[in-house]
Structure 1
Amino acid sequence: MNNKSYKKRTNTKKQMSNTVQKLFETCKEVFATGETGCVPPPADIERLRLVLDSMKPEDVNLTPSMPYFNRAENEDAPPITYLHIYECNKFSIGIFCFPPSGVIPLHNHPGMTVFSKLLFGTKHIKSYDWVTEIPSSMDENGNLLRDRQRPGTRLAKVHIDSDCTAPCMTSILYPAAGGNMHCFRALTACAVLDVLGPPYSDSEGRHCAYYHDFPCTIFSDGAELLPEDDKGYAWLEERERPENFVVVGAPYSGPKLLSSS
C-alpha cells in the first residue's frame, strides 16, 4: 500500500469517528438532566439537529447492499434490524435497518424527545398528537358527538402523513407535540438513526404502547364528529404489541465511541 492510499483511509476513518463522537458528545450535553418529560432548550435542540442533519450512511459504515436491507420473497412483514450504538439512563443512540415493506407499527414515546434521521431510502411516516380540547359538536338531539366515542379510545390529531426521502432534515418529536405517536413503513430499503432522550424505561414509567387508529367518524353513527376537519383526526386504541412486528439485534460495525463515561 502506498503512503497516499494509507493517508486517505486514515483520514476517512478519522472523519467517521469524529462524526459519531460528535453526536455522542452533543447528546451528553443536550440530555444532561435525563428527566422524563424534560424538553431541552431550543438552542440545544437545534444544535443536536444540525449534527444529525450532517450525518451520512458512510459515517456509521452502512450501505443499502448489506443483508439487513434484503427482503425475502413472499415475506409480508420482514424483520427489522436494530444496531445498538449507545444507551444510558439519559439517552440512547441506535439505527433501525428496514428492508422494503418493513414496518414499525404505531407506538408512542412517553415523556421523551426523539430525533430521527433518515440516512438513506424512502419511508412513509404517519404521526399523531393527542387532542386535549375536543370541539363541542352536537347532533340533532343535542348530544355531544364526542360522547359517542368507543370506550378505550382517545382522539388524536394527525401531525404528518407523507413520504420522506433521504437526504432530508432530521424529524423531531416531543412529549406532547411533533407527532409523539408514529409509525414507519419502508417504501424502499432504508436506515433510520434514532436518538431518544431519555430512552424507554418501564421502571421509570416510559413504557412503549402500541395503537390501532380508526377514522374519526367510525364511531359517530355517520355524523360529523369534527366539522372543520374530519380527515385530520383519528381515534387511537391501545393494543398489544403486534405479533408480526419483529426486531432483531445485530452488531454495530461503525466507528466506536472513544469514551462512554
Structure 2
Amino acid sequence: MRLERELTRKPSSAELAPEKSSPPSKKGKRRHRRPEPMPTTVQRLFDTCKRVFADGIAGFVPPPDDVSCIRSILDNMKPSDVGVSPKLPYFRKIDNDGPPIITYLHVYECPQFSIGIFCLPPSAVIPLHNHPGMTVFSKLLLGSMHIKSYDWVVVAQESSEPSSAALPTGKRLAEVKTDEVFTAPCDTSILYPASGGNMHCFTAKTACVVLDVLGPPYSIPERNCSYYYDYPYAKYASESPVDLGEDEGYAWLEERIGSPEEFVVVGAKYQGPKILEG
C-alpha cells in the first residue's frame, strides 16, 4: 500500500537536518542612545540671558519672573563653575608703587548682554561708576567685598518734569542704597537703570571674584561709563535744594574727568567651561 511505503521509507539526510534559525532582524534591536550631557551652569546662564535680553534695548527692565530665572542660576553658582579658584596668579601680591591690578576674564559679549568676571586682589578697588540704561546682576563668587551703591535723588516739580537735586557746581544728590560687606557665598545683587543702586563701588577686603551680567553692555558713546567722587551730604547741606538735615543716607556725587588712575585692569583668557552659541 502507498501508506505503508511512506511509513517504511527512510528519511533523507536533508529531512533529518535541524532547521537553522534565522538571525534576528536589525530592525528589531533597540538602540540605546547615550543620555545628553547636562548643560553646564555657565551654559544655562548664557541660554537664559540670551532669551531674557533678546531685544537688547537700553533701559529695558526684565519682568520679575525673568529676573528670578537669572538670579536663581547665579545664586547657586560656585567658583569652579567658571574655572576660578584662590590659587590663580591674579590674587598674588605684587610689590610695586601702583594700585593693585584687577584682572578681567571676558566670558561672552554681544550687543544684547555681556558676561564677565573680575578678579580682585586684596585692597583692590573698582571706583564708583554708573550703568546707564542697564540691568546688572553681580554675583560674588569668592572672598569678602565692601559694596557701596547709590541712586539719584529725583525732586518733584509743580510746573515741570521731575529733576535731580543738584548744586550750581554740578554735584548731584544721591541716596545710599547699599553700604556693607558681603562674603561669599551670598545672594546675587541686582541693580536697574533707575533703582537698586545703579552707581556702585567695589572694595576687596580679601581676594575676590565677582561675576557681572550686563544687559545691555557698555557701548561707546551710547552707554559709556562715568566715574564719580562722593562727598558726605553734610558737607554741602547748607546749599542743598532739599532739606534733609544731617541725614547720612545721602551723598553728593561729582562726575570725574576720564578714567581713574587708581583703577588698573588687565585682560586674561577665560579658562572655564565653554559656551555653545548654537
TM-score range, shorter chain: 0.7 to 0.9
Contact 2:167 2:239 in 1 (8 A): no
Aligned-partner Cα distance in 2 for 1:35–1:148:
28
Q: TM-score, normalised by structure 2?
A: 0.79
- The structure-2 alpha-carbon separation of the partners of 1:209 and 1:148, relative to structure 1 and needing over 3 Å to count, comes to closer
Match of 2:60 in 1: 38
2:182 pairs with 164, 169, 174, which one?
164
- The structure-2 alpha-carbon separation of the partners of 1:231 and 1:58, relative to structure 1 and needing over 3 Å to count, comes to same
Aligned-partner Cα distance in 1 for 2:85–2:256:
34
Match of 1:237 in 2: 254
- The structure-2 alpha-carbon separation of the partners of 1:224 and 1:154, relative to structure 1 and needing over 3 Å to count, comes to closer
- The structure-2 alpha-carbon separation of the partners of 1:223 and 1:242, relative to structure 1 and needing over 3 Å to count, comes to closer
Aligned-partner Cα distance in 1 for 2:109–2:200:
22
Match of 1:92 in 2: 114
Aligned-partner Cα distance in 2 for 1:93–1:127:
21
2:200 pairs with 182, 187, 192, which one?
182
Contact 1:159 1:178 in 2 (8 A): yes
Consecutive unaligned residues in structure 2, runs of 5 or more: 1-35, 158-163
Instruction: Say which SS state the counterpart of residue 51 (structure 1) adopts.
Output: helix
Deviation at 1:77, TM superposition (A): 1.7
Contact 1:60 1:254 in 2 (8 A): yes
Identity of aligned residues (%): 61
- Give the letter aligned to residue 209 of structure 1: S
Deviation at 1:230, TM superposition (A): 1.6
Aligned-partner Cα distance in 2 for 1:150–1:234:
16
Aligned-partner Cα distance in 1 for 2:168–2:239:
14
Contact 1:105 1:184 in 2 (8 A): yes
Instruction: Say which SS state the counterpart of residue 151 (structure 2) adopts.
Output: strand
- The structure-2 alpha-carbon separation of the partners of 1:56 and 1:223, relative to structure 1 and needing over 3 Å to count, comes to closer
- Give the letter aligned to residue 267 of structure 2: G
Number of residues of Structure 1 aligned to a counterpart in Structure 2: 236
Moved over 4 A (4+): 14-17, 221-225
Consecutive unaligned residues in structure 1, runs of 5 or more: 1-13, 136-145
Q: TM-score, normalised by structure 1?
A: 0.84
Q: CA RMSD in A?
A: 2.4
Q: Is 1:216 the counterpart of 2:233 in the alignment?
A: yes
The answer to which structure, 1 or 2, has the higher relative contact order (CA under 8 A, 6+ apart) is 1
Q: Which has the larger radius of gyration?
A: 2
Aligned-partner Cα distance in 2 for 1:116–1:105:
15
